[in-house]
Amino acid sequence: MTGSSEQKIRTGEQFDAVIVGARCAGSATAIALAERGLRVLAIDSARFPSDTLSTHLLWPSTMAEIQALGALAEVEAIGAPRLPVAEAVLDDISWETGYSPVSGIDYAMCVRRTALDEVVQRAAVDAGAEIRQRSTATGLIWSSSRVVGVRYTDAEGHEREARAPIVVGADGRKSLVAREVGAETPLISAPSGRACYFGYWTDPHTSLRHIATQWRVEGLLGTAFPCDDGLLLSLLQPPIALVPEFRGRKVRDAYLAGVEAIPGLAQRLDGCELASKVRSCTGIESYFRRSSGPGWALPGDAGHFKDPVTAQGIRDGYRYGRLLGEALAPVLASRTGVAATAVDEAAARWAAQRERDCIEIYQWTNLLAAGAPPSPIEYELYHRAQTRSEFAAILADIYNRVERPAAMTAPATVAAAYGRALRRPNFTTRDVVADLRDQIARMGSDWMLRRRFLRDRPAFTLPRRDPTGAPAIAVAAHL
């Protein structure tokens, strides 16, 4: 190595922010910072367009985040159909509803990550961010116990350094940044009771390409989400006890057998052809990690991950990536100089707010991810949604993050549901009483966990207006 090369590595380049990872959270943070005039570098090991494991169902609240990032028209142009109708089926009990609009958007979409990530990344470049592909972070740069930059290998294999007052680790569940700062071990976590297998199917059923559907039969969960290029994404999430059936060369056969075991899904896919290999995600663990510290922050899956059963990751990656950028921008753009303590305080307030916003949906997701057969109360809630459209809308809007999970379990609703369950022949009185006891115990333990986890978190007020003066996204800040 020459002396000039050594000097280049030692001094590096200076930015206002360096972001490791340029997919959902990384691009959103980059857009929020760059459009406020800050010099931003985002590096990513991939060469885009590039696929990644993802359920990629985008709720209306997710589409609203894409709109806030300035990429809605381009994402729509990818060609995925709008999905204004949500349908859920438990055995033979079904309900169908629309969504409450978020910032005027009342439809979901399912867009494959190959196209989605490239479009949002282009929006970051258009905002003024610099994105370097095929660049792999190899370590952090420290000064007096503070992160001050990133070492990485660029597309030509050269070792580089980039320095900044803040390093944003948007590098996913296996985050190098989280590992380097000692945040890899979660603050709280929950192993999933499900695995996830999915494939893409041709979809000639044009009359059904406006509906996103989920089916549950015993412990199995399956979906049909029409997506771009005329395809349909079908997820199968069996209980983890069935994982041995999916190993090695058996995965395709086991996946197809699982589809057949869900009559509604098998009927939806009748006439469709599996057009891809079956991909898998196993050993899933949901968690919150410590997400800020001296000179660093962790948006996206690097800091917080939920089981894909509720498809919340992309929305939260965009939303909290954007909010991190908005929180940091005034500090990083200070005319009196960047104060390290102010950077860290802004990141800490942002992290605490995400924890408060996401803890309830995290717990609800863990419940759905348990992989257990449906309980008596779940059957009754489906019966209620089938006959009462306003309750079906509540269930859809929990996924949409317009309603809290608690909205479906008001005391009067739960009492009436258990009363009806006792009169049905499907379950014995012992079954219903045992379920009630389990639900009370779970709600109590969830409440205790929330109270302990959120104790002493600093206050943080979300921005209510964007820099153009337009109204902020019309969704409750606590969701």
CATH number of the domain that 236 lies in?
3.30.9.100
Instruction: Give yes or no: residues 275 and 229 share one domain.
Output: yes
Are residues 170 and 47 located together in one domain of the fold? yes
Cβ–Cβ < 8 Å for 402, 479? yes
In a domain, 108, yes or no: no
Instruction: Judge whether 241 lies within some domain.
Output: yes
Q: What backbone torsions phi and psi does residue 397 show, to the nearest 5 degrees?
A: -80, -10
List the pLDDT tens digit at each of the 479 positions of the chain.
Answer: 333 333 344 457 999 999 999 999 999 999 999 999 999 999 999 999 998 989 899 999 999 999 999 999 999 999 999 999 999 999 999 999 999 999 999 999 999 999 999 999 999 999 999 999 999 999 999 999 999 999 999 999 999 999 999 999 999 999 999 999 999 999 999 999 999 999 999 999 999 999 999 999 999 999 999 999 999 999 999 999 999 999 888 999 999 999 999 999 999 999 999 999 999 999 999 999 999 999 999 999 999 999 999 999 999 999 999 999 999 999 999 888 899 999 999 999 999 999 999 999 999 999 999 999 999 999 999 999 999 999 999 999 999 999 999 998 888 888 899 999 999 888 899 999 999 999 999 999 999 999 999 986 655 444 333 333 333 343 333 35
Identify whether 222 is part of a domain.
yes
Question: Has residue 474 been placed in a domain?
Answer: no
Number of independent structural domains in the chain: 3
Judge if 185 and 199 occupy the same domain. no
For residue 178, which phi and psi values (nearest 5 degrees)? -60, -40
* Judgement on whether residues 424 and 349 belong to the same structural domain of the protein: no
Task: Indicate whether 144 and 129 sit together in one domain.
Answer: yes
Do residues 235 and 361 both lie within one domain? Answer: no
- 188 — phi, psi (to 5°)? -140, 155
CATH number where 136 lies: 3.50.50.60
Contact 330, 201 (CB under 8 A): no
Q: Which of 366, 396, 412 is the last residue of a domain?
A: 366
Q: Is residue 360 part of a domain?
A: yes
- Bridge partners (DSSP) listed for residue 78: none
> Which residues lie below 8 Å from residue 296, measured CB to CB, with a gap of 6+?
140, 147, 166, 167, 168, 169, 177, 181, 347
Is 88 within the bounds of a domain?
no
Shared domain check, 134 and 8: yes
Residue 247: which domain range? 194-281
